[in-house]
Structure 1
Amino acid sequence: MQDFTESATSTGDTASLKWRKSAHSNPNGSCVELAPMADGRVAMRNSRFPNGNVLVHTTEEFRTFLLGAKRGEFDDLAEGA
């Protein structure tokens, strides 16, 4: 599996993004939100801290993660959840 490169960016760079989260999100607000960026990257943040750090992933990094998730490579991380 490929390593993911993460970079934090200021929320000022991402304030105008259209954030979204899964329909399966926790009703108490403990969710991950994602937003597409104009340059093709994907921004990710914790919905409980919308003014906090944002992780930015390249399209290839995000695609690799999604493919791994679809194949169940991370299922062990959600055991008991």
Structure 2
Amino acid sequence: MQVYNGVPADSLPMVDWTKSSWSNPDGNCVEVATLPGGDIAVRNSRDPEGPALVYTPDEIRAFVRGAKTGDFDALLT
């Protein structure tokens, strides 16, 4: 199976989705899963059959590093 951005999340084989402990009771969160080839898929927890975005480990590292250092804080104001 070819994995691409926008692939239906429920069609990804053999993945365990993880939800953040920071998610709220309304289900407003994202879930992530490591794919067999090492890439990371991200989906909206409210739409588990919907599209998944697929990133390389380096892309996820860069995003997490930016989130930790406040690079995206302006999006929340």
TM-score, length of structure 2 as denominator length: 0.84
Structural mapping, 1:45-60, within 5 Å? 45-60=43-58
Distance across 1 between alignment mates of 2:44 and 2:10: 16
Unaligned runs of 5+ in 1: 1-5
1:30-65 per-residue CA deviation (whole Å, 9 max, x = no partner) reads 210011111111100000000000000011111111
Which residue is 1:3 aligned to? Answer: none
Gaps of 5+ in 2: none
d(CA) in 2 for partners of 1:48, 1:27 = 11
> How well do the aligned residues superpose, as a CA RMSD in angstroms?
1.7
Q: Distance in 1 between matches of 2:53 and 2:17?
A: 13
Superposed displacement of residue 9, structure 1: 1.5
TM-score by length of 1: 0.80
Matches for 1:2-17 after TM superposition, within 5 Å: 7-17=5-15
Q: How many residues align?
A: 74
Q: Partner letter of residue 6 of structure 2?
A: A
Q: Which of structure 1's runs of 4+ aligned residues deviate more than 2 A?
A: 10-13
